[in-house]
Amino acid sequence: MNITGLRHIPLNQDHLVQGSRVSLRNYHDHMSYERGFIQHSRSPNNQLINYHFLFGGFRTYILQRFLVQTIYRRNVRIFWFPVLLGYTFCCVTMRMYDNACYDYFYFSD
C-alpha cells in the first residue's frame, strides 16, 4: 500500500491511497472536519470536488446529499425513538399536572 501525503484517522485512511477505488475524488462523501479540513474552492484539485458537489443540480446536491444523507441518516434514524419517548412522557406528565391544578382550583374552597 503506497500512502502519500497526510495521515488520516483509520476509518478514512483508504481515501489517501492513490490508485484505490475510494480516492480523493470521492472524498466529499466521507469528509470529516475533525482534523481541520480546509477546502479552497479556487485550487484546481478542489474544483473537481466542487464539481461533484454540485453535479446533478439542486435535487441531487441539496435534497439527496444534504437532507437525506446528512439530516435523515445521521439524525432522524438515530434519534426518532428517544425524541418520541420524551415527547410522550412530557404530554402524559403535563396532563397529570393540569388535572392536579384543576382539582386544586375547583375543590380547594
Per-residue confidence band for 69, with pLDDT thresholds at 50, 70 and 90: confident
| pTM recorded for the entire structure | 0.38
| Mean pLDDT value across residues 30-34 | 51
Upper half-sphere CA count for residue 108 (Cβ side, 13 Å): 6
Residue 58 has pLDDT above 60, yes or no: yes
Q: Domain segments of the chain: what residues? A: 1-55, 57-109
CA torsion 62-65-68-69 (nearest 10°) is -150
Q: Which residue has the cell 402524559?
A: 92
Q: What are phi and psi of 3, to 5 degrees?
A: -95, 120
| Mean pLDDT value across residues 78-103 | 89
- Look at residue 33 in the predicted model and tell me its pLDDT: 47
Choice between 99 and 13, residue whose per-residue pLDDT is larger: 99
Residue 37 φ/ψ region, left for φ over 0, alpha for ψ in the -120 to 50 degree band, beta for the rest: beta
